[in-house]
Structure 1
Amino acid sequence: MPIRYATLHQFKIFDAVARHMSFARAAEELHLTPPALSIQVKQLADAIGQPVFDQIGKKIYLTPAGEALMSASQDILDRLERLAQELAALQGLEKGRLKLATLSTAKYFIPRLLGDFCAKHHGVETSLFVGNRGILLERLARNQDDLYILGQPPAHMNVIAEPFSDNPLVVLARPDHPLVSEKNIDPSRLRDVPFILREPGSGTRLATEEFFERHSVALKTRMEFGSNEAVKQVVASGLGVAVLSASTIGAELATGELALLDVQGFPLERKWYAVYPVGKQLTPVARAFLEYLFATAPAHWLALSRALAVSSGSICPTTLP
């Protein structure tokens, strides 16, 4: 069977299997049985005239033909999705889907912004994936979502990164920490202070390590965690200090569980970015959400920064955006 007779159903099935590298997980996503998927993938491979998967032990891997087919499948399915949205737009309808993936650090404000966007566009279906930086970069490499919210764009990937809001990093401690009452603390004073860090590869950790390396300060790592909540809990228990995004700590500052340290060079000026692969054609819905971020997120952060300054007392409002 020539490739021109391959069906969209087969491309969709192959795409799911290739993304998950598992017939079982793809079957769960598509609500089909693994044998049914296997038959369709075999027929597609027959049409190509080459195997698309190698099976080694219990794992499957894409062959060179499979990698080419995966790229083509994504192009076909993405183009069909854009066509559906373009046709809906021509009819004056608000329809379409938005697949958003965000860092766990941004979960403190992105869901609210997404909810407000959906309230203005009732016909849009949305999905939100929340994960750490490593998982998001894997999804970005596979082009699994429309947009990715990151605090530090990947330097090794060919992407477009559009900044839409400030994302300053601050130094946290328990309120009774000896340094809380001090002002303009030199970074060298933190050389022997235990640090609670995010996991290796985290954008927050990378920025923290780069800052202290520039000041010739070797961090004394006490613990590391894969979530902001765990870091905050350990800092609140008095086991060390930490550097986190200011967007994650409003509640703890308001209740007095945490306090800010006035360290020279902080807050670290960073941005939140909407990221997508170079060459990706954004759907009308994705473009509309991107424009909504540009218009709304800065005002959201301004309100948050004022709340942080008022609740903290250890940082002047003019030092935040």
Structure 2
Amino acid sequence: MNYTLHQLSVLLKVRDTGSVTKASEELFLSQPAVSVQLKKLQDQFEIPLFETVGRRISITEFGHEIADTAQRILDEIEAINYKSKTYQGAVAGKLKIGAVSTAKYIVPFFITDFLEKYPSVDLSVDVTNKSSVLKSLENNEIDIAMVSTIPRKIKAHSISLMKNQLYLVGGKEMPDLEKSISKKNLEQYRLIYREQGSATRLAMENYIAQRQLKVKKTIELTSNEAVKQAVIAGLGVSIMPLIGIQDSLKSGDLKIIPAKGLPVETYWNIIWMKSKNLPIAPKTFIEFVRNHRTQIIDNYYGYVK
């Protein structure tokens, strides 16, 4: 056997993407280059790693076994590299963060300076809804989560960052109101929701229940950005986090509608499991946030009071 680490990496990428084309794009290689590496790897085995069904390439059961072994080999190589850098005095390793979708407006400002200070840390950020983030945290698939409410059922440490303020907003065609919108008038509008499992959706549902609003027409969308664009287009109104709509408010594409009981206020937090033995990279990130959060918030989020 004379396979290379590069060939194993190509095999894994093809398995994970299910496509030579997609694998070549993610590896920044040409399709012929990927095919050549796969052929060189296949030539060392008598049992097929792949089979072609129609125009699609499919990995065989044997190919999956080899890919699983390749993953363990590459993980060990990566661990060796991290240990080498650590012995040289660098903070090195993986940092896996899960962030609720609205937190995408926060995460970059908390990680940019950190990565500049610790360039040997490899970062991955998974942005999804709250339910998926918490599931990943409990399953040990991520080290740290960024959420707007701390779940009661999870035993987690936390660091509070800043306020998360949610307002009722409409498009520029909305009339300017000096007083809070009446319950009757609000009920005439179509309400635009985030998907189930979103913390923003939950906050909106709680507000509606507390106000005993009779919701007649609704739209459900799967991202904060999609909701924002729908409101701008005049499809309805929604309750949205201030942090994700600041530019649209400045441009006049969105308007805050005064409403009793709003804004809803929660706090952005980073959380991590109490039971988890954190590696050096996540530990260092937590300390970085603890020491620099006030400066970061003052620099970038002065409009949040």
TM-score by length of 1: 0.63
Q: Please say if residues 109 and 296 of structure 2, whose CA atoms lie closer than 8 Å, have aligned partners that are also in contact.
A: no
Q: Does structure 1 retain, via aligned residues, the 8 Å contact 2:91–2:280?
A: no
Structure 2 equivalent of residue 113 of structure 1: 110
How is 1:1-321 mapped onto 2 (pairs within 5 angstroms)? 7-30=4-27, 31=29, 33-40=33-40, 42=42, 46=45, 55-60=52-57, 70-93=67-90, 105-121=102-118, 123-124=119-120, 133=129, 165=161, 167-174=164-171, 177=174, 180-183=177-180, 190-198=186-194, 204-205=200-201, 207-209=203-205, 212=208, 217=213, 219-221=215-217, 223=219, 227-236=223-232, 239-253=235-249, 257-259=254-256, 261-264=258-261, 266-267=263-264, 269=266, 271-273=268-270, 284-297=280-293, 300-301=296-297, 307-309=303-305
Aligned partners of 1:55 and 1:61 also within 8 Å: yes
State the shift of 1:88 in Å.
Answer: 0.9
Q: CA RMSD in A?
A: 5.0
Greater Cα offset, 213-222 or 21-30: 213-222
167-176 or 7-16, which moves further after superposition? 167-176
The alpha carbon displacement at 1:112 in A equals 2.1
In 1, distance between residues paired with 2:184 and 2:159?
A: 31
Residues 88-97 or 10-19, more deviating: 88-97
Which 5+ residue runs of structure 2 have no aligned equivalent? Answer: none
Q: Percent identity?
A: 25
Q: Which runs of 5+ in 1 are unaligned?
A: 310-321
Rate the CA distance shift 1:39–1:198 in 2: closer, same or farther, 3 A.
Answer: same
Q: Is the 8 A contact 1:23 1:37 kept in 2?
A: no
CA deviation string 1:152-182 (max 9, x = no partner): 899xxx9x89665454433323588469544
- Tell me which residue corresponds to 1:316: none
Check whether the contact 1:105–1:248 (CA below 8 A) recurs between aligned residues.
yes
